[in-house]
Amino acid sequence: MDTEQRTSIQEKSKQEQLATFRAEHDGDDLTTNQAVRVNHTDDALKAGTRGPTLMEDFHFREKITHFDHERIPERVVHARGFGAHGYFQVYEPMSKYTKAKFLQDPAIKTPVFVRFSTVVGSRGSADTVRDVRGFATKFYTEDGNYDLVANNIPIFFIQDGIKFPDVVHAIKPEPHNEIPQASAAHDTFWDFVVQTPELSHMIMWLLSDRAIPRSFRMMEGFGVNTFRFINEQGKSHFIKFHWKPTLGVHSLVWDEAQKLAGKDPDYNRRDLWDAINAGQYPEFELGVQILEEQDEFAFDFDILDATKFWPEEQIPVRKIGKMTLNRNVDNFFAETEQVAFHPGHVVSGIDFTNDPLLQGRLFSYLDTQLIRLGGPNFHEIPINKPLAPIHNNQRDGYHRMTIDHGRVSYFPNSLQGNTPLPNEQEGYKHYEEKVEGKKVRQRSESFNDHFRQATFFWNSMSLIEKQHIIDAFHFEVGNVVDKNIKQGVVDLFNNVDGELAKQIAMGIGAQPPSQPGGTGVTASSPAVSQQKTVKSAYSRKVAILMDNGFNYPEVTQVMESLKNAGVNTEVVSKYQGMLTSVDGRQIEVNKNYAGTGSIMYDAIYVTGGRQCVDTLLHQGDAIHFVNEAFKHAKAIGATNEGVDLLATAQLQGTPLADPSTYAELVNELGVVTIRNAADMGYFSGKFIEAIAQHRHWIRQQQKDMVPA
């Protein structure tokens, strides 16, 4: 088979395979599950119209029984998730490092299914809570399925898998009252943190902006554990996996995240769904950090310790391919809920290390699918089914789909020519690592340093990122009731940084640390800060505030420019329906104030038209919209009379375009205004630049004075 044939087979065949399971019901007669047509479904069969329901009503019994059994157990962690299909292409052959087939040929498109998730909340919880995000990818390769089960934070809470139930029990809602949902801001979690210093580094990340992503499309992914690449010659390299979003890494602000949890709990999943439907396909580059075997001990941390990351400045991330997500699911349950990931689903060329967290994971994932998906045949569920054929002697079990032909289900055999036969050459061969040691329940001493990388991370944060971490401590630990635990947090984080501990103490009513703090680490890793990430206006969402009497040419010019830059717009007004401009032309309103808020947008634009703006000036909702967007450091644009709304909103310290000047653009603190301008081109260009910035932290002082 040539490459072109393989490409088209790979690309199409997962969708074709799924298509054989898809069912259309449009225009069809209603039937039972035995395909018997039903003549009436709104009343159960009764003895008389007011009499008892009859046992023989098989339609009633089947309908209700199926309904009663509709739910399966939610995932014990990562219960809330959202998935999409796509494909992956490698940039160049990676044969020097790995024999993995899907990492060799740039012409091959390997189908993938990705599920993004939160960790702590239950299935119905909000998207925008402070939490780690899961980022799990299933590659349907020619050589079988490979799962890269990653998170959006490069390190983990604990070092050994056996501690996982403890940390999860501590962070989940407290067992006596099931409060709070999807939040770490409670006593049991911080009690555990104070008792378990290995969490310190992860807490720094969890309280950083990484834990409230703006979008699944704007998150990095990290394999966290150390894996191996194995090439044809059997040579091993240590590796860490990364996903780098082409749109950069961007976050919400905490106030926004909390409000979104009420106003749109589906904020992140809706964003992904809408982007894919709009053809604005999310893209992520696959990166690897590659380490020679002989460099295993070359660092001041243990490379098998999952509470440490490999600084990109020391071990560069090599981008080796790109994933594009281009198709939403047809059915949430069948695909997103039933997909089963497992870090132990590897293909030849990818292998494990002795990272004790990874070793724990290798047991847990298969085990959990057995209970969650009801038995050992979950690999036959369409979303989990490999493209490569399956041949083995595993048989039977709940919900078996395959009709295995013949009488042989054992090996060796003579009745079937001794097949299916292990393939010594091409079969998966575990890396022959030499292992020696006493059986002990102990951790390696090289895992003992819990604070130095936490300081390193803290040093890497910009001032605003540091402030957000401190604010997050004030929220999280401020919600802890037990005073000893609060003090314990201050004392624990004094090990990381003295100033940080002092700031924490101030916000939560605890004593500042009595000992000098810190680890003495002064180095930093610019790569972990979000300040210098990719900045782009593409696929951002802008609210246009308008009412009757707006200026049609003005607003449509701005809308056109935004559209050309791939920026999406929605018209927001008091009422839905049509708005009429000064010259009688109309535009439809997408959202009313009751159904949306500035928190749903990346930027806002107020257009001109005397009557339109005079109406907005009397709407508290419009003024609040502007103020709140300003507080959240978002780009704000206004043209002509629209600038009057910003003046009324009194955006602190922001000069605005003056009515007496001709077409002079004022662009300060991310607020872009112009008056007396007929051509909106110049304004639009500057406004788009401001949107691309994502946040205007330069507004820090002024925004804190806004009461919104």
Indicate which residues carry an active-site annotation.
78, 151
Q: Confirm or reject binding of residue 161 to ligand HDE (CB under 6 A).
A: yes
Residues binding ligand HDE: number (CB under 6 A): 26
* CB of 659 closer than 8 Å to CB of 629: no
Closest CB to ligand HDE among residues 243, 456:
243
Closest CB to ligand HDE among residues 74, 296:
74
CA distance to 272, 593, 625, 654, 706, per residue, from 632 (Å): 22, 18, 11, 15, 10
Beta carbon of residue 161, minimum distance to ligand HDE (angstroms, whole number) = 3
Q: Confirm or reject binding of residue 378 to ligand HDE (CB under 6 A).
A: no
Q: Confirm or reject binding of residue 361 to ligand HDE (CB under 6 A).
A: yes
Beta carbon of residue 364, minimum distance to ligand HDE (angstroms, whole number) = 4
Q: Confirm or reject binding of residue 608 to ligand HDE (CB under 6 A).
A: no
CB-based burial, 143-158: b 16+ in 10 Å, e otherwise: bbbbbbbbbbbbbbbb
Give the three-state DSSP class for 472: helix
Q: Confirm or reject binding of residue 550 to ligand HDE (CB under 6 A).
A: no
Convert residues 320-359 into a mask of x (bound to ligand HDE by CB under 6 A) and - (unbound).
---------------------x---------------x--
Q: Confirm or reject binding of residue 185 to ligand HDE (CB under 6 A).
A: no
Please state, in angstroms and rounded to a whole number, the distance separating the CA atoms of residues 276 and 379.
27
Q: Confirm or reject binding of residue 111 to ligand HDE (CB under 6 A).
A: no
* Segment interacting with ligand HDE, rule: CB under 6 A, options 145-153, 186-194, 432-440, 589-597: 145-153
Please state, in angstroms and rounded to a whole number, the distance separating the CA atoms of residues 201 and 289.
21
Q: Confirm or reject binding of residue 245 to ligand HDE (CB under 6 A).
A: no
Own/partner pairs for 649-654, CB < 8 Å, 24+ apart? Answer: 649/623, 651/626, 651/627, 651/702, 651/706, 652/702, 652/703, 652/705, 652/706, 653/701, 653/702, 654/630, 654/702
Beta carbon of residue 308, minimum distance to ligand HDE (angstroms, whole number) = 13
* CB of 612 closer than 8 Å to CB of 532: no
Residues between 197 and 236 that touch ligand HDE (CB under 6 A): 223-224
> Hey, which residues does 319 pair with through a beta bridge?
287
Closest CB to ligand HDE among residues 362, 582:
362
Beta carbon of residue 389, minimum distance to ligand HDE (angstroms, whole number) = 25
Q: In terms of C-beta density within 10 A (0-12 exposed, 13-18 middle, 19 or more buried), how is residue 396 classed? A: exposed
Closest CB to ligand HDE among residues 117, 236:
117
Beta carbon of residue 137, minimum distance to ligand HDE (angstroms, whole number) = 9
Beta carbon of residue 241, minimum distance to ligand HDE (angstroms, whole number) = 9
Q: Confirm or reject binding of residue 365 to ligand HDE (CB under 6 A).
A: yes
Q: Confirm or reject binding of residue 362 to ligand HDE (CB under 6 A).
A: no
Residue in the block written with tokens 């808020």: 597
For the record, the structure tokens of 432 come out as: 């022959």
* Segment interacting with ligand HDE, rule: CB under 6 A, options 156-164, 310-318, 510-518, 671-679: 156-164
* CB of 128 closer than 8 Å to CB of 268: yes
Please state, in angstroms and rounded to a whole number, the distance separating the CA atoms of residues 684 and 250.
23
Convert residues 115-144 into a mask of x (bound to ligand HDE by CB under 6 A) and - (unbound).
x-x----------------x-x--------
Exactly one of 81, 248, 549, 642 binds ligand HDE (CB under 6 A); which one? 81
| DSSP 8-state class, residue 354 | -
Greatest CA separation for the chain: 96
* CB of 579 closer than 8 Å to CB of 705: no
Residues lying near ligand HDE in the complex (CB under 6 A) are found at: 75-78, 81, 115, 117, 134, 136, 149-151, 156, 161, 164, 223-224, 306, 341, 357, 360-361, 364-365, 368-369
